């Protein structure tokens, strides 16, 4: 809603308060707005950059004292050696003793959604869900007793991209561990799970990150030497900033790797299992690490921009393909590490976009494993997500989880929509039906450790000193604070442009308000040209605003392209009169929540972008559109003019929310709802995606290989006219190549008649063919068909079936009868889908009540068809016969079997394989398509194109989708185009 004046806005606030007192649910008024981008550095003039955030921090001695301090978002003072970083479990403060208010919000998405009037109201209600328990807290109840049927072990394994430390290596010495910046809320969650307040045992699994050489070993920290030019603000403005060194090779012996594992496990409050991503392993177990940033590239160059509605320039695909293979290999390495610490009954929690393939990779190994996945960044709409080249693989990977959580309702809705539009799976607000199981999709707005934030902001003498210094420096001025990273999605440029419009429209505020903008380096590995372009744009805007609206005595924009110490960070949040966050896209913004805590006494308003995932949780803040620069300018004016009573009212509502919905309650809520979903939905029937790496490895080791493929819906898609389902050139070429290997026996086992198979598959002489579900067989290198049903009289029962089918064909427009030599099929794929399915049910009941009781025949429902055939004729009998022809015993039976089929008739083949004496690890029984069906197959593929891709993989052809599997098996990356 737009307001003609500030008075109208504040009157609306008062009206809302009155309505609230009367039990009304009036919507919060909102103001328009802005965006976020990144920040510049040497391009800024010294007059701008040399102004300290707090007085007296420009000299080198002060910087030396601060050089090991980090941005508060995820870390404080750097640590090394055996000193425990603040992430450790003992840094967690129990909320039970905090004196924070009790929870009053709904405890589940279902409860919150009850009574929603429209889609917007539903989003608001779900985003405000706290998920706290109504009865006993999870921390006070043993989850094993609460969910006895799950047979829980009481152990949680958390998988995150990096361990919470930056790691430096010194040969034959203790590793140096510095607290890692970023994702502070997530690390607080791990700290809680490892602490005494949690009923769980906890293990954290994460990549070591890029391994530097330790300072004690003569190496630079983080690749940059420690000298004066490495300060956040260079002393010599004309000097080129030091460039990071690319550490080519780091060699770590096994003894030193084990030393780090012991260090992490015993010294830092909770077990940490590092994921080692080496490039080479010598015979004496010395690991070589090189080009370590490559493990980030696919996630941070392809997924992160696209999830934030940014698209890269098109390329020839080679670099993207390399990045995809390393992404696959990294997820595979995570799966290996998790399996090394996993015990039956463990719960695995997987975090964020770097590990989207991990749920499926774990499900492939342990079909009944308990997996929860949480995405901390936005998830885009299907129109944008479908631009991703590996879109199917990503969705299939994350659907290996039992429950998937998002920061906001809109992100969960986008995900479900993508599963329906791209994979064809049925979905709803509750989740997605995938591969015979229900994958729950839910909303969990993450919080912060409110108590430790309040302690850091109000119980530190260093913060008090800096608060006093800032107030003295900007005495008589209103202070607007912005703090962002140098990412492409932070909206810093839009923030500055809106502030410029504000100064232009409201000259009365000139010389009375200052914008302190702190821009720290990005945590995302960004391309250099993008960072430079954004930095230069911000630099130009700062210079222009200060030139047009500043004076010799005053600079309206104070821009600091640097990290802040924790004391400076909280001092700024405390003294601010307005907090300004203008994200273009954002998942969760901890700065907004920490600002509300720090404003406990000052009650400064918060202006936040409606595109931030946190905005939905803070419904009483001033929401702006970052692209509406004029609207953001007016929001700034309204915030600065806001009466004290309105500020107090708004702040109290937000403060209550932040202190109640902490990261601890978020962790408990996520686990509780995961266990509830596991109890409610039977996940034992879920079928994992085909493990192509395992299949390729087994295939290469085998010498007696048997292949059994269905035709319709497996090798070719289902089409309206059965006669139009002809194989493509790619299908025939791959089948020809596969069957030409003398170690391979390849059979097409189809419901099609002999004539059709002869016409379209007869040219491949090495193929074996079976028609009409096993009624006829044609051996490889033969043109003669064997009739396996000669002894049975077909005419009588066929006449009875045709009579019934004819009656239903007359009633069902578009249906028709196909008469084969043995079986008779009634097709209704051209009819109205709902009416055709209804008529098929009625027809099946009539056949089973009449013909099936009189004759030894059975009715087989297929994809938009019904087929009647003799009971002793089915694909399972053919599968049993083919396996038997090899003979029994070691060295005779097949040592590799790949069986693919898409409908109910193919279950007979899977059943025969399961009942055979073949070793389980050599059988790959794989169903194709049908997201909601339950099957006895052990694997699944999505569609016929995936079948051909899997066959091509065995033939030695590596397409982009198979590149990851090949790289795992071959331990090398192909350089060909995708």
Structure tokens at 332: 């595979």
Residue ranges in 642-787 assigned as alpha helix (H): 644-660, 663-680, 692-701, 729-740, 754-761
d(CA 787, CA 782): 14
Is 758 designated active site?
Answer: no
Report d(CA 381, CA 798) in Å as an integer: 52
Tokens of 734: 């791959």
H-helix or E-strand spanning residue 379: none
Distance from the first to the final alpha carbon of the chain: 49
Give the span between the Cα atoms of 748 and 901, in whole angstroms: 10
The full 3-state SS of 664-678, as one line of letters, equals HHHHHHHHHHHHHHH
**Residue tagged active-site, from 71, 710, 902, 903:** 710
- Kindly give the pairing relationship between strand 776-778 and strand 768-771: antiparallel
The partner residues of 371 in beta bridges, in order of sequence, read 348
Residue 166 per-residue DSSP state: E
Beta bridge partners of 443: 406
Residues 6 or more apart whose CB falls under 8 angstroms from that of 193 comprise 156, 158, 200, 202, 270, 667
- Angstrom distance (rounded) from CA 970 to CA 409: 42
Yes or no: say if 190 and 205 are a contact pair by the CB < 8 Å rule: no
Cα-only R_g, the chain: 32
C-alpha count within 13 angstroms, C-beta hemisphere, residue 333: 23
Contact 619, 657 (CB under 8 A): no
946: Cβ–Cβ under 8 A, 6 or more apart, which residues?
Answer: 690, 928, 961
Say how many residues make up the chain: 978
> CB atoms < 10 A from the CB of 223, how many?
15
Q: 3-state SS string over 380-439?
A: CCHHHHCCCCCHHHHHHHHCCCCEEEECCHHHHHHHHHHHHHHHCCCEECCEEEECCEEE
Please check whether residue 484 is in contact with residue 36, taking contact to mean a CB–CB distance below 8 angstroms: yes
Q: Quote the CA–CA distance of 214 and 204 in Å, as a whole number.
A: 24
Q: Could you give the CA distance from residue 649 to residue 295 in angstroms, rounded to a whole number?
A: 47
DSSP string, 69-102: B--TTT--B---TTPPPTTSGGG---GGGS-PPP
Among 342, 175, 133, 364, residue whose Cα is nearest residue 262: 175
CB 177 within 8 A of CB 261: no
Which residues does the annotation mark as catalytic?
Answer: 710
């Amino acid at each position: 809603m737009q307001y003609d004046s500030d008075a109208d806005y504040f009157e609306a606030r008062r009206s809302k308060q009155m309505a609230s007192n009367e039990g009304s649910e009036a919507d919060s008024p909102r103001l328009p707005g802005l965006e976020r981008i990144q920040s510049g550095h040497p391009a800024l003039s010294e007059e701008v950059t040399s102004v300290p955030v707090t007085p007296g921090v420009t000299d080198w001695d002060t910087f030396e004292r601060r050089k090991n301090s980090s941005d508060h978002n995820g870390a404080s003072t750097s640590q090394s050696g055996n000193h425990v970083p603040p992430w450790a479990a003992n840094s967690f403060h129990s909320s039970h003793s905090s004196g924070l208010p009790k929870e009053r919000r709904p405890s589940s998405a279902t409860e919150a959604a009850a009574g929603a009037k429209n889609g917007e109201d539903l989003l608001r209600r779900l985003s405000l869900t706290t998920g706290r328990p109504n009865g006993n807290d999870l921390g006070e109840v043993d989850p094993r007793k609460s969910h006895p049927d799950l047979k829980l072990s009481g152990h949680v394994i958390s998988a995150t991209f990096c361990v919470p430390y930056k790691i430096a290596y010194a040969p034959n010495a203790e590793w140096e561990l510095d607290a890692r910046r970023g994702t502070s809320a997530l690390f607080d969650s791990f700290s809680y799970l490892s602490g005494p307040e949690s009923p769980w045992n906890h293990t954290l699994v994460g990549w070591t990150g890029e391994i530097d050489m330790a300072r004690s070993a003569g190496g630079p920290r983080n690749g940059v030497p420690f000298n004066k030019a490495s300060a956040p603000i260079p002393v010599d403005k004309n000097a080129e900033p030091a460039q990071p060194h690319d550490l080519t090779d780091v060699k770590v012996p096994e003894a030193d790797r084990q030393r780090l594992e012991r260090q992490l496990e015993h010294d830092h409050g909770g077990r940490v299992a590092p994921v080692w991503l080496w490039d080479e392993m010598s015979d004496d177990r010395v690991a070589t690490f090189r080009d370590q940033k490559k493990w980030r590239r696919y996630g941070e160059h392809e997924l992160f921009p696209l999830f934030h509605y940014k698209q890269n320039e098109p390329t020839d695909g080679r670099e993207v393909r390399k990045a995809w293979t390393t992404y696959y290999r990294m997820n595979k390495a995570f799966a290996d590490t998790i399996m090394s610490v996993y015990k039956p009954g463990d719960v695995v929690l997987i975090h964020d976009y770097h590990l989207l393939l991990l749920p499926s990779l774990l499900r492939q190994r342990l079909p009944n494993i308990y997996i929860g996945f949480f995405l901390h960044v936005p998830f885009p709409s299907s129109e944008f997500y479908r631009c991703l080249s590996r879109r199917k693989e990503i969705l299939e990977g994350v659907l290996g989880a039992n429950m998937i959580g998002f920061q906001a309702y809109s992100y969960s809705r986008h995900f479900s929509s993508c599963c329906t539009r791209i994979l064809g799976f049925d979905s709803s607000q509750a989740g997605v039906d995938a591969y015979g199981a229900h994958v729950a999709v839910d909303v969990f707005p993450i919080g912060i450790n409110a108590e430790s934030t309040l302690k850091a902001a109000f119980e530190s003498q260093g913060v008090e000193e800096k608060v006093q210094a800032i107030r003295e420096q900007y005495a008589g001025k209103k202070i607007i604070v912005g703090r962002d990273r140098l990412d492409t999605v932070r909206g810093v440029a839009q923030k500055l442009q809106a502030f410029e419009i504000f100064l232009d429209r409201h000259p009365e505020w000139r010389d009375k308000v200052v914008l302190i903008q702190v821009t720290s380096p990005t945590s995302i590995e960004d391309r250099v040209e993008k960072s430079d372009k954004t930095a230069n744009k911000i630099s130009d805007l700062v210079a222009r605003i200060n030139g047009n609206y500043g004076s010799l005595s005053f600079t309206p924009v104070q821009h600091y392209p640097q990290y802040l110490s924790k004391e400076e960070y909280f001092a700024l949040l405390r003294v601010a009169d307005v907090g300004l966050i203008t994200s273009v896209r954002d998942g969760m913004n901890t700065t907004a929540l920490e600002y509300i805590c720090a404003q406990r006494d000052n009650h400064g308003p918060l202006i936040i972008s409606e595109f931030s995932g946190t905005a939905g949780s803070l419904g009483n803040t001033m929401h702006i559109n970052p692209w509406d620069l004029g609207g953001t300018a007016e929001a700034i004016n309204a915030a600065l003019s806001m009466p004290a009573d309105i500020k107090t009212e708004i702040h109290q509502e937000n403060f209550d929310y932040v202190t109640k919905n902490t990261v601890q309650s978020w962790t408990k809520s996520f686990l509780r709802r995961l266990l509830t979903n596991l109890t409610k939905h039977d996940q034992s029937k879920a079928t994992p995606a085909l493990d192509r790496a395992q299949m390729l490895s087994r295939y290469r080791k085998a010498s007696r290989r048997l292949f059994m493929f269905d035709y319709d819906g497996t090798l070719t898609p289902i089409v309206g006219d059965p006669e139009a389902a002809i194989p493509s050139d790619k299908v025939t070429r791959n089948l020809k190549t596969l069957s030409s290997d003398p170690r391979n026996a390849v059979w097409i086992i189809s419901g099609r008649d002999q004539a059709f198979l002869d016409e379209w598959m007869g040219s491949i002489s090495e193929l074996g063919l079976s028609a009409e579900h096993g009624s006829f067989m044609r051996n490889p290198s033969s043109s003669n068909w064997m009739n396996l049903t000669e002894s049975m009289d077909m005419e009588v029962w066929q006449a009875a079936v045709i009579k019934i089918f004819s009656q239903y064909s007359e009633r069902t427009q578009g249906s028709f009868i196909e008469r084969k030599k043995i079986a008779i099929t009634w097709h209704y794929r051209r009819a109205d889908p709902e009416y055709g399915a209804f008529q098929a049910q009625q027809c099946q009941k009539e056949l089973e009540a009449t013909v099936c009781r009189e004759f030894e025949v059975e009715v087989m429902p297929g994809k938009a068809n019904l087929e009647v055939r003799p009971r002793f004729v089915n694909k399972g009998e053919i599968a049993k016969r083919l396996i038997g022809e090899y003979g029994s015993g070691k060295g005779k039976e097949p040592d590799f079997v790949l069986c693919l089929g898409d409908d109910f008739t193919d279950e007979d083949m899977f059943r025969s394989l399961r009942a055979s004496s073949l070793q389980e690890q050599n059988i790959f029984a794989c169903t194709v398509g049908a997201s909601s069906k339950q099957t006895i197959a052990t694997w699944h593929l999505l569609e016929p194109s995936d079948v051909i891709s899997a066959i091509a993989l065995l033939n030695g052809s590596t397409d982009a989708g198979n590149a990851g599997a090949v790289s795992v098996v071959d331990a090398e990356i192909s350089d060909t185009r995708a």
